[in-house]
Amino acid sequence: MKINVTIEIPKNSKVKYEYDRKTKEIVVDRILYGPSSYPLNYGFIKEALDWDGDELDALIIADQSFIPGCVVPVRVLGAMEMIDGGETDTKLITVIDCDPRYDHLKSLKDVPKHTLLEIEDFFSTYKNLQNKKVTIKGFKDLAWAEKEYQECVQLMKDYGSMDKKAFIKKMMKEHPKKYAK
Ligand SMILES: [Mg+2]
């Protein structure tokens, strides 16, 4: 599956840039409290709304680091299922789709195991010094990731214009499983 990802955070950055859907601005939310930096380029899928009230997140495997706000064509390989502060916060794992060096990556099975370990380690520890808990539930295959993407596209169609807090409150009531600790 080919999609576009809008970059928030370049690979190796410690600046937590976040896109604000209301103002359409990229805001510096914070500098990561801990010593690590983003292991991969990180961004969002503008047509898909995740259960945490933000656009669906994506990590991009690529050599280069990209500037915030630019759009990168990618192929989806799979996903990492994650709970952040009690909210479902899935990360799609994708690869750049305009670099022949990566043409051989078709699924998570083609990704070096150590790359996945780095992703898992980063997200399970990056909020430690904020005393916030992140739970990694594991990696998922392409079929799971595509289903998640489609579900989030539907959420964006239905609730994209809704206030974030009101959205989470409504979804917690209607889909409590998505918010289990
Ligand atoms: Mg998110």
Residue 94's beta-bridge partner residues? Answer: 60, 76
Give the tens place of pLDDT for each residue, 69-114: 999 999 999 999 999 988 889 999 999 999 999 999 999 999 999 9
CA of 63 to the centre of ligand 1 (A): 23
- How confident is the model at residue 85, as a pLDDT? 87
Residue 179 lies in a domain: no
CA of 16 to the centre of ligand 1 (A): 12
Residue 133 lies in a domain: yes
Chain-wide mean pLDDT for the chain? 96
- How confident is the model at residue 116, as a pLDDT? 97
CA of 57 to the centre of ligand 1 (A): 5
| 180 pLDDT higher than 90 | no
Residue 118 lies in a domain: yes
CA of 159 to the centre of ligand 1 (A): 15
Give the tens place of pLDDT for each residue, 17-65: 999 988 999 999 999 999 999 999 999 999 999 999 999 999 999 999 9
User: 48 near 105, Cβ under 8 Å?
Assistant: no
- How confident is the model at residue 181, as a pLDDT? 58
Q: What is the CATH number of the domain that holds 141?
A: 3.90.80.10
Total number of domains in the chain: 1
CA of 64 to the centre of ligand 1 (A): 23
Residue 181 lies in a domain: no
CA of 142 to the centre of ligand 1 (A): 19
Angle at 148 between CA 99 and CA 146, to 5 degrees: 45
CA of 90 to the centre of ligand 1 (A): 7
Residue 112 lies in a domain: yes
Residue 123 lies in a domain: yes
CA of 103 to the centre of ligand 1 (A): 27
CA of 24 to the centre of ligand 1 (A): 16
Beta strands in the chain (DSSP E): 2-9, 15-20, 25-31, 41-49, 55-61, 71-84, 87-88, 91-96, 134-140
Residue keyed to tokens 């370049």: 10
Question: What residues make up the domain containing 75?
Answer: 2-174
CA of 157 to the centre of ligand 1 (A): 17
Alpha-carbon dihedral 54, 145, 106, 14, rounded to 10 degrees = 30
Residue 64 lies in a domain: yes
Residue 59 lies in a domain: yes
CA of 85 to the centre of ligand 1 (A): 11
> Residue length, the chain?
181
Give the tens place of pLDDT for each residue, 105-150: 999 999 999 999 999 999 999 999 999 989 999 999 999 999 999 9
